[in-house]
Amino acid sequence: MNSHEMSRTLLILAIGICIGFMVGAGLVFSVLVFCRSGRKRVDVEKSGPLRTEAINVHGKGADSSVTSLSDSNATFESPRTSEWSNTSFWLEGLRRKNAVSVCGIPKYSYKDIEKATSNFTTIIGHGAFGPVYKAIMPTGEAVAVKVLGANSRQGEQEFLTEVLLLGRLHHKNLVGLVGYAAERGRHMLLYIYMINGSLASHLYGENHEPLSWNMRLGIALDVARVMEYLHYSADPPIVHRDIKSSNILLDKYMKAKVTDFGLSRPEMIKPRLSNVRGTFGYLDPEYISTRTFTKKSDVYSFGVLLFELITGRNPQQGLMEYVKLAAMESEDKIAWEEIVDPQLNGNYDVHKLNDMASLALKCVNGVSKTRPSMRNIVQALSQLYKKPKRNSSQAAPSALNEVSIEVEQPETRDFSIECSEELRRLHSR
């Protein structure tokens, strides 16, 4: 080989090495891009395994039918259909044939639930959403299944809210959402079964022993704690909008858990007018007149709930008129004993009763700004709960006097996860 041929061979070799290197680099790059996009998809679906393991029944959950949400024009308070057809990841996840979970909530098939409810024969209640069934899962675990009534657009919207919110809210006093189903145009929500039913059934039903004073105080504190969590620890803060005794469920230890987030909304930084929603008897009059729901509207409903616990009277049957009359009769020192639930048979601490009723009265103040915050309320109720029983001759410093009312400033927050962003966008219209 002469020197000319040698330099040609070396040149060809160098070009070959360059091409090889570029092809190799291209391949490595492609693999990296593929892995990234793959990981993104896994992120959407990965948050469920813990819950999935806990009830362990959704192996068959991948169903081939497509949920009706894809062609739904369900809306929140101001209809804007186009945003519902956005391919945001969670809605896409609800539709996706083989999705196993969305926002951490595992998906079940219609067949799984049909079997677990013995073909929908185990009805335990009926609400605005539709019928509620008890289901026994293959693990032996009992769950409550809420079935959305057919053709209910309002219900579809509430269904989405529940899945999106409860997927990211975690508190011991919330009724856990353990699954959902969305196929054959039917939507279902699966919750942990609360063996002692609703607080309303204990206050008004005939099949229960009357609740003791201490139980009532404990229930009030449980509910206040979860409300405080929603208002101050959830990101973005959440207003429940439907606090009432039928949305408080009791577990086997009579611990209270809040349910029904269908009407809940992230707190609006710039509140906008919306249609009045909620339950008659619990609605903040300021919300009715301004049509703007705030944390303090939840506080109002909570105040009504406190009076419900004190009196054993139904807010939908004139409870607040009854309370107002009692409060008017003797303005300097209200004799709350006159309105206390006769089922208590006098078994309560008068001082605690007075403190709890005074707190309730502050919560239902007509001017929302003067109502205590849920933080103040938790503080006051915790002090009451742990306070030893006093006899009437002892001086009674009120737990409420030690609690100052905090004036809230609007907060601006970063919404860190996609579910939150999607929720805020949908709800703030």
Ligand X SMILES: Nc1ncnc2c1ncn2[C@@H]1O[C@H](COP(=O)(O)OP(=O)(O)OP(=O)(O)O)[C@@H](O)[C@H]1O
| Residues within the interface to ligand X (CB under 6 A) | 124-129, 132, 144, 146, 175, 191, 193-194, 197-198, 246-247, 249, 259-260
415, exposed or middle or buried, with CB in 10 Å at 0-12, 13-18, 19+? middle
Nearer to ligand X, 277 or 429 (CB): 277
Chain CA centroid to CA 105, Å:
13
Q: Kindly state the smallest distance separating residue 193's Cβ from ligand X, in Å.
A: 5
Chain CA centroid to CA 376, Å:
21
DSSP state of 316: G
Nearer to ligand X, 191 or 348 (CB): 191
Nearer to ligand X, 244 or 427 (CB): 244
Q: Kindly state the smallest distance separating residue 121's Cβ from ligand X, in Å.
A: 15
Contacts of 303 (CB under 8 A, 6+ apart): 359, 360, 361, 362, 363, 364, 371
Q: How far apart are CA 265 and CA 231, in angstroms?
A: 11
> Coil, strand or helix: which one is 85?
coil
At which residue do the structure tokens 């969590």 appear? 229
Q: Kindly state the smallest distance separating residue 73's Cβ from ligand X, in Å.
A: 23
Contacts of 305 (CB under 8 A, 6+ apart): 220, 223, 243, 244, 245, 248, 282
Nearer to ligand X, 221 or 249 (CB): 249
**Chain residue whose CB lies nearest ligand X:** 127
Nearer to ligand X, 142 or 344 (CB): 142
Which amino acid is present at 131? Answer: P
Q: Kindly state the smallest distance separating residue 425's Cβ from ligand X, in Å.
A: 26
112 counts as catalytic: no
292, exposed or middle or buried, with CB in 10 Å at 0-12, 13-18, 19+? middle
Catalytic residue among 222, 242, 260, 284: 242
Q: Kindly state the smallest distance separating residue 142's Cβ from ligand X, in Å.
A: 8
Residues that are catalytic: 242
